[in-house]
Structure 1
C-alpha cells in the first residue's frame, strides 16, 4: 500500500506533458491540428524533429503531397519563427480514396507529418510559428487555416511525450524498400497517348496482400488506380496504372517518374524510367488480326469518294496500256503500288514523330494545315492541265517506261499512288478506323505495321494487275477517243481542287482561298495561251507562272482565320464543351456529340444520309436533346484528346450521352438511322 501511494504521488507531481512540447490544438468541424516536438528542449543538435499532428473527425480526409485528381496538400508558412530554418516535410505513405468520382490520395483518422527542422544557432531556444493551410474533405471540401505556436527552451534534448507518436509515423515514410523487402523489378510503358499504361513489376520477400501504386509525374501525365495481378505465391505482382484521360503531356517511355508503392504498412519510394513494353504473345496475335483488318480497310479505301478523282490518273494509264507490252504494264502498276505504300509509311513516320513529341495525333490531320491544302490544289491543277493538254513534261529517258506525257513515266505512276493516299485520309472505310485507332494507341512498331498493311491493302488492285498484266492489255487500243477521256478525268481533278479550296476557305477565310484559286487559274490560262504569244514574250511566261504559284501558296498564310461553318438545317447545334457533358446529363438531357470537319467527306455523307433528316433530325431538335458539334477543321488539342479517350484518332466520330450513359456510347463511323435512334433511347434510360 505504501508503494502504491508513492507511485500515485509521483504521477500527480509529474502531471500532463509539458506545454513546451506542443502547441495548443486548433480545431474545426473537420477535426483538429497541433504542432508537436520529439524533444523537450533544443539540446546541442543542428536540427529538431517536429511533427504536424492531425486528428480528423470521422469521414474527413486531408491530402498527400500528390493529391490525385483534385485537392492540394497542406501548405506551411514559418514566418515569424526564431532560430528555426525551413523544416522539410516527411510524408507517410498515403491511402487511396474516391470522392465525387475522383481518385484522391491522402490520410484519414490520425496522422503525424514528421518535420526535419534545422536550427540557425544550435543549443539556443526556438520559437516556432506556423501558419498551416489545408483542405479537409468529407462530402464537401472545406479550406482550413490554423495558427500554431511552439516554444522550446535550451537544455538537454530529452525525449518528449510525443517522441513515440512522431517515431511511429516516421516509420511509415517510404524508403528504398529494402527495410520492407520490396523491390521494383521493371517499369514499362504500354500503349501511347490516352491509352498509355505504366506497368510495374514488383517483388516481395513476404506475401503481398493489397499492393497499390501512386505515380508523381506532373509534366508527363496523371495516373489512375492500378489493375493488380498477383503471382500464385503472392511474392510477385504486376501493377498496370492507366493514365487519366486528358492529362497526357508527353510519352511515358523515357520519362522520369516518382513512384510510391504501398502494401499495408509496407512501402517503397523510387524513381523509375519506363522502357517500351515488350510484346506478349497475345499482343502479337492481336497485331496480326488487326493487320488483317487493315488490309481489308485499305482495299475498300479505293472505293471512297476522296480517292476516285485522283485515281482517274491511273484510269488513263490503264487505258493507255491497251495493246501494249506486258513489261510496261507490270512496271507502271508496281510503281503506283510503291507510291501508295511509301505514302502510308511516310504517314506512319509522321504519326510516330508527333507522338514522340507528346502531341495528339489523328488520321487526316494534314488537312488541318493550310499549307498542305494549297499545295495539293496547285499540284492537282497541274495534273488537270496536263490531262487537258495545256502542257507536257518531258522527263529524262531513264525515268521513261513507254514514252508520252508525265502519266506514262515510272515517276508519274508513283506520284499518282502517293496523291491517292494523301487524299484518301479524309475518307473513312469500314474497318479503317478500328485499325488506325489500334495503331495510334500503341508504339512505333505497331504503327508502322498497321500503316504498311493499310498501304498494301489499298495497293492490292495494282499489285494484282502487275501479277496478271494481261487484264490491262485486253483493253481497247489507245485512239482519239482518249482525248475526251483525258478531258473528263481532268475535270474530276479540278473538282477535287475546288473542294480543297472550300476547305481552305473555312480555315483561312474566303478571300485567301479566292486569291489562291484565282492565281492557280490564271497560271493555267497563261500556259494555255503561251503558244499564241509572240516568241519574244514567251520567255517571261515561266517566270509569271512561278510568281502566280508563289502567290497561291502564300495567300493562306495572310488570311483572316476563316469562320466556323454554319450549322444550318433544323438542328440547333451548340459548340462542343467536354466539361458541360456531366452537367447536361445530370440535368436529365441526352447529348449527341458530332466530331466533324469540312474536309471529312464521310462526315458529310453521315449528315446528309442520317443525322440531318427524318426521325434523327426530329429527335435532335427536341428540347431534352442537345446536339453538340466539335469542329476539327482546324487543329484542336481538346478535340484530339477527346477522340483519344475513346481510342479513336480519326473522324467521323459520334457519341451519345445521357442519364443512363454518362460515359458516352460511341457510334459506328458509318451511321444508320436505327443505330442513332437506339443509342438515343438507351442513353435516355427508362
Structure 2
C-alpha cells in the first residue's frame, strides 16, 4: 500500500483524538480547529476559532457597528508558541430596528496565525478562552474554555475535515491593495473616493470602516459609481469628533455571484459628497428585524414610541415623584430642616446649591453609564448597587450620618463649613453635597415614568442622553427650587424651634433602617459571612465617630486605625462569590416561581401558558414595595393560581448581561419591569407602581 495513503488513513482515524469536541454555549457552538494535522516548527501555522450561531443569531466583527462587542480570544500557550490577532473575514450587515451591526450569522472561522519556534518538539496543548456577544432580538454574552492538542512535526498536510472551510474563509479575507483612495468630512457627511479597475461593472458595493465612531452605520450609503471610480457618502456618527489622519476599512465588491473584499487606506483629500437621495447599494448580508412588539414597547408603559420632548417630560415627572420614594425621604427631610432655619435669601441660595448638586450628580451618573456601555459593559440605572463594595460604602455613609443626627458626633457642621470661605454664604457647600447624597441614595429607586425616559436616553446620542438625565435631576430638585423662589411655598415650612432638634434625631432612625436593608443586600449578594463582615465595619465606624471630638496622638492613631480597618473590611468583601440561583421557592408571596431565561419564556409561551416576569433586585426598594403591596397579596396569589400563571423572576441584584439586554429590549435601563404574556401572547408592560387589582386584571 502507498505509504502516503496509509498515513492519511491513520490521520483520519487519530484526528478526532487531537481535536476537542465543540462546546455548546447558549445559541453558539464554538471550537478551536487547526488547518493542518500537526504543528510545524519554524513556520506560521494557522488555527481558527469556529463559531456557529443558531439561525437568526449573529456574532460580531472587529467593528461591531451601532452596538455589540467584537469576539476575543485569550490564549494560554506553551513556551515557544505565540498567537497573533484574529484575521477577520469581511462581515455582513445585520439590521435590528434602527440599528445596523456588522458580524456573522453563519458558521464562521476566525483565523489566527500561530508562530512555533524552531526546535519545539512533542505534543502541545493549545488553550484559549473565547468571548463573544451573540444577538437576535436580544443579546447574550457567551464564552467557552477551548483546547486543542497537536504534535509538532517536520511537515504536515492540511486536515481534510477543515481544508474547504479554511479555503473558503481565506477567499473572504480582505486583500491588501494600494488603490488611490481619499476621504473628506463636510458638515455631517463622510465621503470616500476610490479608483481601480476592479470596481468596473460591480453589481454590489459596501464599505465597512474599522473605526466605530466614523459613520452612522444605520444611515444609507450613497453611491456614485462610474467605471473605475467610486464615490461613497454616509452620514457621520453621532460620536464623531474630528477627522482622523486616515480612514481604514473593507470595501466589499460583488460581480454577480463572485464577491471579493479589499482593505483600503484613504488619506484626507477633496471628495465631492454624493447627493442625498442617491440610491443606496445592496449590502452583503441579511437583516434581522425587531420583535413585533418592540416599537410599541419603546414608549412609556407600552405606549407609542417616545420623542425627545416626551422623554424629557417623563424624566422631569419621574424625578419629581422620586422625592416620595422611601430611599430618598430621610435626606430630603434634613434639607427641609435646613431651609426652615434660613431666611428668604438663604433659602434661595441653598435651593440653587442643592439643585446644582442633584443635576451635576445625575449628569455624572449618565456619563459613567455611557462610558461603561461604550466600553462594552452591560450596565444600567443603579448598576453601582450591583457592587457589594459600593453597597457597603453607602451603608457606612448612612450609618455615619445617622450617628451624627443622634448626636454621637457633630461632624456634619464642620464639613458644611468647609465651603464657607469659597461661597461666602453659610451652608451652601452642605446644600450642594446634600444634593449629591440625594442622588446616591435615590439610585436604588426607579419612579414611575422614569424607566421609560432612561431607557430612551440610553439609545440616543450622548447630548440627548445627558439632557434627559439633567431633566431627571431637575425633577428631583424641583420641590426645593419652588421653596426657594416662591414665597408662598416657603411659608408652608414649619417655624424654627426646639422641636427641630428632636425631629433631627428622629430622622436618624430611617437611616438606621436603610443601613439594615443595605447589610441584608450584601448578605444576599454574597453570603451571611459577608454581611457579618460589613457589620464589624459599621462597629468600627461607630468607634471612629465616638472618638471624633477627642484630641491627642493616641486618639488620632485610634481613629486612623479603626477607619483603615473598616475600609479594609469593605474592600475585601468576596467580589467573586456567586450566589446560588433561585431554587423555585416562593420568591413572590406563596407563588412558586423559577429563574427567568429567554428560553424558559419561549417554552412557556409555546405551551400557551400565561407568564408573569418580574425584573427585580434586592437593592431596588421600589421592587420590594411592589412585592409586599401587590405581588404577595391574597388577591394576586389566588388569581395566579386560578389561571395557572407561570412566575419567572429575573434577579438583577448582581450584574447579569442577559437581563440588562432584555431590559434594553423593552426600552428600560433599570428595574423594576413587569411583563405579562397572556396565554403565550405578546408581552404587556405593567406600570412601575403596582396594585393588587392592576396585577390581577393584567393576567385576564
TM-score range normalised by the length of the shorter chain:
0.5 to 0.7
Alignment equivalent of 1:551, drawn from 545, 565, 590? 565
| Distance in 1, Cα, partners of 2:345 & 2:261 | 67
Equivalent pair of 2:544/2:563 in contact (CA under 8 Å): no
Aligned to 2:365: 347
| Distance in 1, Cα, partners of 2:160 & 2:183 | 35
| Distance in 2, Cα, partners of 1:72 & 1:379 | 46
Going from structure 1 to structure 2, the CA distance change for 1:186 and 1:499 (only over 3 Å counts) comes to same
Deviation, 1:401, is 9.4
| Distance in 2, Cα, partners of 1:70 & 1:296 | 43
Question: Are 1:646 and 2:666 counterparts?
Answer: yes
Equivalent pair of 1:371/1:553 in contact (CA under 8 Å): no
1:358-400: CA deviation from partner (whole Å, max 9, x where unpaired): 1112000111122222222222222222222222235496734
Deviation, 1:468, is 3.2
Aligned to 1:382: 400
Aligned to 2:261: 269
Aligned to 2:14: none
Alignment equivalent of 1:458, drawn from 476, 486, 491? 476
Aligned to 1:602: 622
After superposition, residues 647-662 of structure 1 pair within 5 angstroms as 647-657=667-677, 660-661=680-681
2:653 partner SS: coil
Question: Are 1:303 and 2:303 counterparts?
Answer: no
Equivalent pair of 1:176/1:269 in contact (CA under 8 Å): no
Equivalent pair of 1:208/1:236 in contact (CA under 8 Å): no
| Distance in 2, Cα, partners of 1:255 & 1:599 | 46
2:328 partner SS: coil
Question: Are 1:572 and 2:592 counterparts?
Answer: yes
Equivalent pair of 1:516/1:556 in contact (CA under 8 Å): yes
| Distance in 1, Cα, partners of 2:314 & 2:352 | 23
Question: Are 1:668 and 2:687 counterparts?
Answer: yes
1:571 partner SS: coil
Alignment equivalent of 2:349, drawn from 317, 325, 331? 331
| Distance in 2, Cα, partners of 1:593 & 1:576 | 7
Deviation, 1:76, is 9.5
Aligned to 1:21: none
Deviation, 1:226, is 8.1
1:339 partner SS: helix
Aligned to 1:494: 512
After superposition, residues 246-261 of structure 1 pair within 5 angstroms as 258=250, 260=252
Going from structure 1 to structure 2, the CA distance change for 1:386 and 1:237 (only over 3 Å counts) comes to same
Point out the more displaced range, 547-556 or 441-450: 547-556
1:389 partner SS: coil
Going from structure 1 to structure 2, the CA distance change for 1:206 and 1:499 (only over 3 Å counts) comes to same
Going from structure 1 to structure 2, the CA distance change for 1:208 and 1:653 (only over 3 Å counts) comes to farther
Gaps of 5+ in 2: 1-26, 47-52, 59-103, 108-155, 236-243, 267-275, 277-305
Aligned to 1:34: none
Alignment equivalent of 1:392, drawn from 410, 421, 437? 410
After superposition, residues 527-538 of structure 1 pair within 5 angstroms as 527=545
Point out the more displaced range, 475-484 or 652-661: 652-661
Equivalent pair of 1:590/1:625 in contact (CA under 8 Å): yes
Going from structure 1 to structure 2, the CA distance change for 1:498 and 1:331 (only over 3 Å counts) comes to same
Equivalent pair of 1:365/1:635 in contact (CA under 8 Å): yes
Going from structure 1 to structure 2, the CA distance change for 1:231 and 1:427 (only over 3 Å counts) comes to same
After superposition, residues 88-107 of structure 1 pair within 5 angstroms as 101=56
Going from structure 1 to structure 2, the CA distance change for 1:655 and 1:202 (only over 3 Å counts) comes to farther
Equivalent pair of 2:209/2:248 in contact (CA under 8 Å): no
Tell me the TM-score normalized by structure 2.
0.58
1:488-547: CA deviation from partner (whole Å, max 9, x where unpaired): 12222222222222212222333333343344346436755888xxx8x97644543443
| Distance in 2, Cα, partners of 1:361 & 1:661 | 29
Aligned to 2:314: 293
Alignment equivalent of 1:504, drawn from 519, 522, 535? 522
Equivalent pair of 1:290/1:450 in contact (CA under 8 Å): yes
Equivalent pair of 1:307/1:424 in contact (CA under 8 Å): yes
2:650 partner SS: strand
Point out the more displaced range, 371-380 or 511-520: 511-520
Going from structure 1 to structure 2, the CA distance change for 1:611 and 1:401 (only over 3 Å counts) comes to farther
Deviation, 1:466, is 2.7
Equivalent pair of 2:176/2:263 in contact (CA under 8 Å): no
| Distance in 2, Cα, partners of 1:609 & 1:272 | 62
Aligned to 2:239: none
Deviation, 1:256, is 7.4
2:323 partner SS: helix
| Distance in 2, Cα, partners of 1:264 & 1:77 | 30
Going from structure 1 to structure 2, the CA distance change for 1:77 and 1:427 (only over 3 Å counts) comes to closer
Equivalent pair of 1:213/1:239 in contact (CA under 8 Å): no
Going from structure 1 to structure 2, the CA distance change for 1:616 and 1:215 (only over 3 Å counts) comes to farther
After superposition, residues 75-474 of structure 1 pair within 5 angstroms as 101=56, 132-133=160-161, 258=250, 260=252, 269=261, 286-321=307-342, 324=343, 326-393=344-411, 395=414, 399-400=419-420, 409-468=427-486, 471-472=489-490
Gaps of 5+ in 1: 1-68, 89-97, 108-127, 136-143, 149-165, 191-198, 241-252, 275-279, 682-686
Going from structure 1 to structure 2, the CA distance change for 1:674 and 1:476 (only over 3 Å counts) comes to closer
1:303 partner SS: coil
| Distance in 1, Cα, partners of 2:463 & 2:553 | 51
Equivalent pair of 2:589/2:627 in contact (CA under 8 Å): no
1:11-39: CA deviation from partner (whole Å, max 9, x where unpaired): xxxxxxxxxxxxxxxxxxxxxxxxxxxxx
Note the aligned Cα RMSD (angstroms).
Answer: 5.7
Structure showing greater Rg: 1
Equivalent pair of 1:527/1:541 in contact (CA under 8 Å): no
Aligned to 2:82: none
Point out the more displaced range, 558-567 or 573-582: 558-567
2:307 partner SS: helix
Going from structure 1 to structure 2, the CA distance change for 1:579 and 1:264 (only over 3 Å counts) comes to farther
Equivalent pair of 2:537/2:569 in contact (CA under 8 Å): no
Deviation, 1:603, is 1.0
1:145-183: CA deviation from partner (whole Å, max 9, x where unpaired): 9xx9xxxxxxxxxxxxxxxxx9xxx9999989999xx99
2:507 partner SS: helix
